[in-house]
Amino acid sequence: MNRIIPLSAAGYSALACLRAEGRGTQNILERLFQPGGAQGWNRLRAGEPVFGHWKQADGEEVVVSIGSDDAIEIQCHGGILSRDLLVESFLAEGCELVSWKDWIVQNSVNPIEAAAKRALTEAKTHRVAMILIDQLRGALQNAIQTIIDRLINRNSSSAIQVLEKLTLQSNFGKHLKSGWSVALIGSPNAGKSSLINAILGYQRSIVLSQPGTTRDLLTARTALEGWPIELVDTAGLRSGGGPLETKGMTLALQQASRSDLVLLVADASCGWTEEQDQWRSQFENVLVVHNKQDLIQHHQGDRPDGVPTVAIASNGVQQLCEQIVLRSVGRVPAHGVAVPFTPTQAEVLDAALDLVKSSKLNDAVELLSSLLHEA
Ligand SMILES: Nc1nc2c(ncn2[C@@H]2O[C@H](COP(=O)(O)OP(=O)(O)O)[C@@H](O)[C@H]2O)c(=O)[nH]1
Ligand SMILES: [Mg+2]
């Protein structure tokens, strides 16, 4: 069956791009497209774009070109209407509509390549894209093939070595799509929202001098050192407030336990409290920020290690960003290293490791092969 694939996403842009493929696509095109000028069909050759008009869409201007694989690419105006009109005329010719996402999958050699291509379209930063390109070029596929070969040769200990390395990278890889989440918690008025604004470099959170303003969770996405980071502003932690404040506090603590890193923001001009110590020990990955350094007038007693800042003057914010990346993103894989980047890949590798450890080598080979062959 002939297929029509809108390659560019729906929306407003200067140009839209469609692809028509399948046997006899050129015959269909002949019925739909009128080449401009004196050009005739005998002039349409692979790689040579031809300008003309779409017969069924009030003479919409288009450029068509035939690829070496006989598929036809059509560029038309980028508005949703012009693109849809062209698509509809192909559908009226009996073509099947295929989304670009499905087309990518169908045109990939293996599931890893398909997943990498899809993930690349959603990559939020260059550094994320570079890692996905490594996988697209075969880093993960080669590593999995190496494991399979070793298992076939009954060399399970060296297979385990590679598998363990890969499963360690899964934790990094699973963040590539959504980024790393960093929750800011602490007493009302400590400067959480001001710190987020300082990190973002623009006013995004609501900053008020009255305690208890941020009752819900406010999130802001940014990139630190090229990694996608989601900063979550939370309500101040204070017992004895009204029901709304208590709700905000519960939300804040829940969010903190879901986050990759918790920034416990403290007002450095006030003493360190037992309550703050409790919050600090409540979460696995906590970084203390001693904000309002400018207001310190006399020694406030012992405080835990942390990053000193003056949020309103952006002092210490660069060091804070460095620490955030170090503590959340952690070790970055070197160029060309295999990184599992989808939940399925991570699950399959974990399960394969268990199988190898319990000497079920054939089962492990079969499971790992599913990552390479089931498109
Ligand atoms: N002097 C001083 N004031 C700050 C600093 N950071 C925040 N503030 C002020 O403290 C108040 C509370 O800040 P805010 O960010 O809303 O605190 P939050 O409740 O923790 O989100 C505001 O008036 C800020 O301008 C700082 O480093 N130094
Ligand atoms: Mg706030």
Over its length of 375 residues, how does the chain's per-residue pLDDT go in tens digits?
Answer: 899 999 987 778 889 999 999 988 988 998 999 988 665 666 567 778 889 999 986 778 999 998 767 799 999 998 888 899 999 999 999 999 999 989 988 888 899 999 999 999 889 999 999 999 999 999 999 999 999 999 999 999 999 999 999 999 999 999 999 999 999 999 999 999 999 999 998 545 545 445 545 556 788 889 999 999 999 998 888 777 777 777 878 888 999 999 999 999 999 999 999 999 999 999 999 999 999 999 998 877 899 999 999 999 999 999 999 999 999 999 999 999 999 999 999 999 999 999 999 999 999 999 999 999 864
pLDDT of residue 203: 45
What is the pLDDT at residue 214? 53
Give the tokens for residue 286.
Answer: 């906590």
Report which bound ligand comes closest to the CA of 238.
Answer: 1
Residue nearest to atom 13 of ligand 1 (CA): 191
Using left for φ > 0, alpha for ψ between -120 and 50, and beta otherwise, residue 22 falls in: left
| Sole residue written with tokens 């959480």 | 192
Would you state the torsion angle of the CA atoms of residues 256, 258, 261, 264, taken in this order, to the nearest 10 degrees? 10
Closest CA to 176 of 124, 100, 237: 124
The rounded Å distance from CA 291 to ligand 1 centre is 8
DSSP 157: H
Helix 126-136 with 111-121: angle, nearest 10 deg: 160
Torsion, Cα 141 143 149 155, to 10 degrees, reads -160
pLDDT score, position 236:
81
Residue 208 Cα: closest atom of ligand 1: 16
Structural domains in the chain?
A: 3-106 (3.30.1360.120), 111-174+340-373 (no CATH), 177-328 (3.40.50.300)
Q: What is the distance in A from the centroid of ligand 1 to the CA of 307?
A: 16
CA of 254 to the centre of ligand 1 (A): 23
Nearest-atom index, ligand 1, CA of 292: 27
Which ligand is closest in space to the CA of residue 308? 1
* Of 48, 31, 50, residue with least CA distance to 40: 50
CA distance readout (Å), 290 to 133, 200, 235: 40, 19, 18
Atom of ligand 1 nearest to the CA of 310: 27
Task: Kindly give the pairing relationship between strand 218-224 and strand 227-233.
Answer: antiparallel
Residue to mutate (ligand 1; options 312, 315, 317, 320; most atoms within 8 A of CB): 312
How far does Cα 20 stand from its chain's mean position?
30
Ligand 1 proximal residues by C-beta, below 6 Å: 188-194, 207-209, 214, 236, 291-292, 294-295, 310-312
How far apart, in whole angstroms, are the C-alpha atoms of residue 121 and residue 140?
19
What is residue 213's predicted lDDT score, i.e. its pLDDT?
52
**1: nearest Cα among 72, 68, 91:** 91
What are the φ and ψ backbone dihedral angles of 307, each rounded to 5 degrees? -100, 125
Ligand nearest to the CA of 211: 1
By the 8 A CB rule, do 188 and 89 touch?
no
**Confidence at residue 246, expressed as pLDDT on a 0 to 100 scale:** 79
CA of 312 to the centre of ligand 1 (A): 7
